[in-house]
Amino acid sequence: MENNNLKIINQNKTQERANELLNEHFNKIHTRTDKLFGILLIIQWLFAILLALFISPKTWEGTYNQPHIHIWTAIFLGGFIVSFPSFLIYKLPGKPITRHVIAIAQTLTSTLFIHLTGGRIETHFHVFGSLAFLAFYRDWKVLLSGSLVVAIDHFVRGMFWPQSVYGVISIEPWRWLEHAGWVVFEDIFLIISIFQSKKEMHEIAQKQATVEIINKEIEQIVTERTQELKDTQVQLLQASKLSAMGELAAGIAHELTQPLFGIKGFATLLQDKVSKSDTEQNGNLLISQEEILNDLQIILTQTDRMSKLISNVRNFSKNNLTDFSLNNLNKTAEDSFALFSEMLKSKKINTTINLTNEITEIYCNPNQLQQLFINLISNSYDAIEEKRNNNQLFIGEIKLNSNITNDKRFIRLEFYDNGIGMSKKTQEKLFEAFYSTKKNEKGVGLGMSIVSKIINSHNGFINVISTEGIGTTITIQLPLTNQNIKETIKEKVVKG
């Protein structure tokens, strides 16, 4: 049902657009033909004056050869005939009234020629030429206007001035009908051709409208899908982050139990002392003010430690994956490692972080970069665990170093682990989505493809060197400033 309704809506739309296109096309034809006739009418007028000057005095007045009334007829009557259509072509180009007036003027010009040539039968052919030219309008009514003028003219002049139209003094009364008959004969063919050409134009407009509407629909679908894809990518980043969060949850919980135990212990001690003071000392405290303050300070320090950890977790859970600003890269890296600290410690994995202090603020999205670090740490963790499966005594190692490149344009991060490493085949497919070597559904194979996307969005570079069984070094270069990103893009365009 809905589909059918859509079809009908689309059909209506197509029809509307086809009509629009057809109207545009006709308007163009009408205006163009108007202009052609504008030029033709003026040329014909000048030609009529020439005819009057050179031919008509001799033919029409016999032996007399002098400036004659016909020259004035050519100039003034011809001018009169041309003036109306010229005005309309200038004022109302493409309008029906204009082409009808043109048709009348054109056929009147024919009759003027016939008159000036003394009703020569050959000049009558001008009428047929004019009608064919008027067919350019693809409007049969215009032919009607022209033909009617010819018929009336022949009839009237045949009655009162046959020599002017037929070249002889007396004629049969039905002579005008014979001429009109030939005009009708031509009109029939012209009208048929007009209808055929209109039909073809209509079909072409229909096809064009269909193509246009389909294109528009496709464009809209492409825009929609592109947006959906963008949304999905952000969702994917968020989802993979939350999944990493799940893995980290136990470690974070442990991190919280340490200060919590401290708080609980000292609160219990204080409670004990204060309650005992009541019963044993008649309200005098068993504990000095200094001691109380000291213990409370320990409790407060531990709550601060918990707050800091919670705010770190909260930052990581933030959904802001699109805004870029100046941020401390070292802090982002350290916070990411902090989330893993218990997990790494529990697996006896040593971490060494050695970050440059030369430049620390870079233009970036810290949430994306945190995601990047977490994916790398998580991969290293798994690589080390896999190696440990073969050797229980193996001690894992993760190192992160950073430095500024010599040209001062990039910060270089070197991320090393002594885990199981990667085969050549795995390295080739490393950045492909859904490629994973991890067993037991540990990963879906998005980690490194997300890393590569994040580096792209920062206009950075990534390089991976890995030896199977030995370890992996991932080198990442990120542009230092916003200005730097622009320059890099320019360079890429120039080189690309």
Partner 1 sequence: MTTLNNEISTTSKAGKILLVDDEEIIHLTLNRLLNQEKKYDIDHAYSGKEALEKLNNSYDLIICDVIMAGIDGITILQEVKNKKYKAEVIMLSGFASQKHEMEAKTNNTLYFFHKPIDNITTFKAAVAEAINLATKKE
d(CA 100, CA 80): 16
Task: Report which DSSP code applies to 75.
Answer: I
- The minimum distance between CB 335 and partner 1, in angstroms, equals 19
Which of 95, 202, 254, 412 lies at the binding interface for partner 1 (CB under 8 A)? 254
CB of 255 to partner 1, least distance (A): 8
Tell me the DSSP string of 182-249. HHHHHHHHHHHHHHHHHHHHHHHHHHHHHHHHHHHHHHHHHHHHHHHHHHHHHHHHHHHHHHHHHHHH
Q: Which stretch binds partner 1 (CB under 8 A): 170-178, 193-201, 250-258, 434-442?
A: 250-258
- State which residue, 263 or 362, has the beta carbon closest to partner 1: 263
What is the smallest separation between the CB atom of 270 and partner 1, expressed in angstroms? 10
Rule CB under 8 A: choose which of 148, 260, 287, 321 binds partner 1: 260
Residue 216 makes contact with partner 1 by CB under 8 A? no
Question: Based on CB atoms, which residue is closest to partner 1, 269 or 433?
Answer: 269
Residue showing tokens 């180009």: 93
Residues 290-319 that bind partner 1 (CB under 8 A): 298, 302
Nearest to 158 by CA among 111, 110, 102, 107: 111
DSSP assignment of 132-162 equals: HHHGGG--HHHHHHHHHHHHHHHHHHHHH-H
Q: Which of residues 328-387 bind partner 1 (CB under 8 A)?
A: 342, 345-346, 348, 350
428 in contact with partner 1 (CB under 8 A) = no
Can residue 261 be called a binding residue for partner 1 (CB under 8 A)?
yes
Task: Tell the residue number behind the tokens 């005819």, with chain if given.
Answer: 51
Q: Which is nearer to partner 1, 204 or 286 (CB)?
A: 286
DSSP classification of residue 397: E
In angstroms, give the least distance from the CB of 380 to partner 1: 16
Rounded Cα gap, residues 464 and 449, in angstroms? 13
Closer by beta carbon to partner 1, 79 or else 265: 265
Burial of 405 (0-12, 13-18, 19+ CB in 10 A): exposed
Closer residue to partner 1, CB minimum distance, 132 or 338 = 338
For partner 1, which is the closer residue by CB, 212 or 334?
334
> Is residue 442 at the binding interface for partner 1, with CB under 8 A as the rule?
no
Give 480's DSSP letter.
S
Q: Which of 42, 236, 269, 321 binds partner 1 (CB under 8 A)?
A: 269
Q: Do the Cβ atoms of 307 and 260 come closer than 8 Å?
A: no
| Smallest distance, partner 1 to C-beta of residue 253, A | 7
Number of residues lying near partner 1 (CB under 8 A): 24
Distance of CA 273 to the CA centre of its chain: 74
Residue 456 as a binder of partner 1 (CB under 8 A): the answer is no
CA distance 350 to 254: 18
Residues that bind partner 1 (CB under 8 A): 250-251, 253-254, 257-266, 268-269, 272, 298, 302, 342, 345-346, 348, 350
